[in-house]
Structure formats: C-alpha cells, structure tokens
Amino acid sequence: MSGTVSSSIDFDKRGKESGYLQAGDSTNNSGWAIFNLPIHSINSGPGPKVLIIGGNHGDEYEGQFAIANLIRELKVDDIAGELIAIPSVSFPASFASTRLWADDTNFNRIFPGDENGRIPQKIAHYLATELIPRVDVVIDIHSGGRGHHFLESATATWSDDKKYRSDLIKNLNGWNTRYSLIFPSHPGTNESSLLPGYVASLGKSLFTGEFGGSGVTSATSNRITRAALVSALKSISLLKPDWHSDSYDHKVAVENREFIDMRSSDTYHWAEEEGLYQNKKRLGDRVEKGELIGAIHFPDSADRKPHLVLASRSGTVGVIRGYPRVKRGDCLTLIGDSYSDLSQLPE
C-alpha cells in the first residue's frame, strides 16, 4: 500500500481507461502540487495480467514510443486479460533527454522505493507495492540511452534458479528478435534495487530488452521494438494471435538468431583515459582479441596521439559507445561469444 501515491483510474474496472498516478509534490513554485504520471489500463476480464514500463531511463525512447503507440491502438476486445501500461515512467527525464531525474535519481536503482521519498521514490514504491504484486508479467523496455548503443535485442540477466531461468528463456524467445544478449548481475549493485531485479525477486515473469540507443531512435529501431512488443504480448496470450495492425507491418524477418553471452569479465571494455571516444567497430562485427576497437581522442592537446583501445577478447560486438565524452571507468564496448542455439551456452 502507498499512502502518498494514488491512481485516478480503477484497474479492476472492465474497459479501457487513461489517467494518472498522482503523488503529492512540493516545489519552489508550488506548495500543494500534484505530480501526474500518465498511466493506461485495458481490462477485458480473465487472462494474464501484464504491466509494461517504458522510459525507466529517460533518454531511452524506443519503448516509450512503441508502448504509447500500441496503447492508443488497442481495443478492449484485442486482449484477453489485463494490461497496465506506463509509457514514460521517468518522463521529466525524457523531456530533459537525460538518463536520470533532475535530482540525479536513477529510477532503475531505487526499488522497492520509499513512499516518503522524492517523486521517483514514491512512484517506485507504488509500483513495488501495488502494481507489480498485482500482475503476472512485467515488461521493461530499455535501450542504451545517450551513453551506449545496443544491437536491438531481447535481454536476460542469467539466473542461478533453473526454473526461473527457463521462464526467462521462454520470454527471451517470446520477443522474437534477431539478437539476444545474456548478462550477469550488475557489478557492485544490489540487483533487486533494479526494477527488473525487484520483479525477479518476487518470482514474477519478466521480459527485458535493449532496443538501440545513443539517445535517438530510427525507423529501424522503432520498427523492431514495436514488432518485438507485439510478439511478446502474443507469446503470453495477452494479445490475440490473429491480432494485426493496419498501421504497422509486424513481420520482421528473423533468420539466424544469435545469442551473445556477455557474462565474462573481459566482455566489458572501460575507458582508461578522459577524452572523446571514437568507435572503430560496428554493432554485430566479429573481432579478434587484440584488434583495434576504438580510440580516445584528446582535442585539447595539439600533439597527443589518441589512446588506442584493443579488444580484450574475441567475439561479437553487442554494445558500442554512444555519446563520445568519456572519463576513466566509463564503459565503451561489450564483446561476447555468439551462439546460434541457447542450449550451447556454458553454465
């Protein structure tokens, strides 16, 4: 229960409704303000209960657009069950084109939230105590934001719990994307402070994906995200199998699926200098250990040569740098082993 956030819509009511999650706010300009977060509910009765979240990080726009477009289009009869959608959960950050909220809150590090905290903490607490417990499935759509650019991919954080892992793999396949990326737990982070980590800690079914990045969307990334979301909703039988849209073509040809294992510590390449990073490899490129993958430039120095970044392992490039400004410790590129079949992946 949340004592500080309420919903203007009744999720139990059959039908389609749009409204707001409302949290008490108090700002320099307004003492009795209400923070209004747009939320949508489509309830057709019995069936799976699904929560879709976009814009967990503000500058990751692919999911925000895909969710908003799909919700506008869906009618109650198109689904079996209940769909709750928040297209842009960190919309003040989305407007600012930033990953974090203006108070530096990373919405994906504050779960289970705090009903007496700042606005994002209040919202996270409402999700953690009201919406996530209510549903069977949570879909959380990301991309690289300004800092990174991902292959448009389904993703999964590897779980030691084999039963939960098999559900993650089922959902990984449910997205029906060309690429899937397998990640370890986040280094130096309490995994359940992340929205998907919190969902996993409750044993709820989870879909996550990274659908591009660099703080921009393209016709291709938008199309893949939209098709993947529709495929995911069909895979859990929320969306009826024969549902189609007159506005979109969902037939993204997926041949040669690739599963890229990002769990090895030498997957991650971090900046060792402060400067401007130039990518020398494309997403999806095969590289050999020791090969040049990028360079850090020092434009404020007349005679300093770029610092060359070499691949610390062979594999496939799954993530490259977006925004080029880097300082020591920023992540530049991820390279992992690629498999055509997930069953080949080592334990």
Q: Does 204 bind Zn ion (CB under 5 A)?
A: no
Contacts by 169-173, CB closer than 8 A, 24 or more apart: 169/342, 170/235, 171/205, 171/206, 171/207, 171/232, 171/235, 171/236, 172/342, 173/235
- Indicate the residue among 79 and 89 with the shorter CB distance to Zn ion: 89
Cβ-based nearer residue to Zn ion, 212 or 275: 212
Q: Reduce the DSSP state of residue 176 to 3 states and report it.
A: coil
DSSP output for 292-322? EEEEEE-TT-SSPPPEEEE-SS-EEEEEEE-
Least separation in angstroms between residue 237's CB and Zn ion is 27
**Between 142 and 146, whose beta carbon lies closer to Zn ion?**
142
Is 347 buried (19+), middle (13-18) or exposed (0-12) by CB count in 10 A? exposed
Q: Considering only 47-55, 136-144, 155-163, 321-329, which stretch makes contact with Zn ion by CB under 5 A? A: 136-144
- State the nearest-atom distance from the C-beta of 100 to Zn ion, in Å: 11
Show the binding pattern over residues 259-298: x = contacts Zn ion (CB under 5 A), - = does not.
----------------------------------------
Would you say 43 or 90 has its CB closer to Zn ion? 90
Q: What values do phi and psi take at 138, rounded to 5?
A: -120, 135
Task: Please state the closest distance from residue 105 (CB atom) to Zn ion, in A.
Answer: 14
> 164: alpha, beta or left, given left = phi > 0 and alpha = psi -120 to 50?
alpha
Q: How far is the CB of 240 from Zn ion (least distance, A)?
A: 30
Greatest Cα pair distance, the chain, in angstroms, is 69
Q: Partners of 178 in the beta sheet?
A: none
Rounded least distance, CB 96 to Zn ion, Å? 15
Q: Which of 142, 149, 223, 269 binds Zn ion (CB under 5 A)?
A: 142
Calpha distance 338→314 (Å, rounded): 10
When the beta carbons of 238 and 320 are compared against Zn ion, the nearer one is: 320
In 3D space, the residue among 118, 58, 112 whose CA is nearest the CA of residue 88 turns out to be 58
With respect to Zn ion, which residue has the nearer C-beta, 142 or 281?
A: 142
* Cβ-count burial 141-150 (b if 16+ within 10 Å, e if not): bbbbbbbbbb
Least distance from Zn ion to the Cβ atom of residue 74, Å = 24
Torsion of the alpha carbons at 207, 108, 66 and 230, rounded to the nearest 10: 10
Binds Zn ion (CB under 5 A): choice among 57, 149, 178, 223: 57
Pick the stretch among 36-44, 51-59, 124-132, 250-258 that binds Zn ion (CB under 5 A): 51-59
Q: Which is nearer to Zn ion, 179 or 339 (CB)?
A: 179
Q: How many residues bind Zn ion (CB under 5 A)?
A: 3
Nearer to Zn ion, 16 or 142 (CB): 142
Least CB distance to Zn ion at residue 142 (A):
3
CB of 106 to Zn ion, least distance (A): 9
Q: Give helix 219-235 / helix 62-73 axis angle, nearest 10°.
A: 60
Binding positions for Zn ion, rule: CB under 5 A: 57, 60, 142
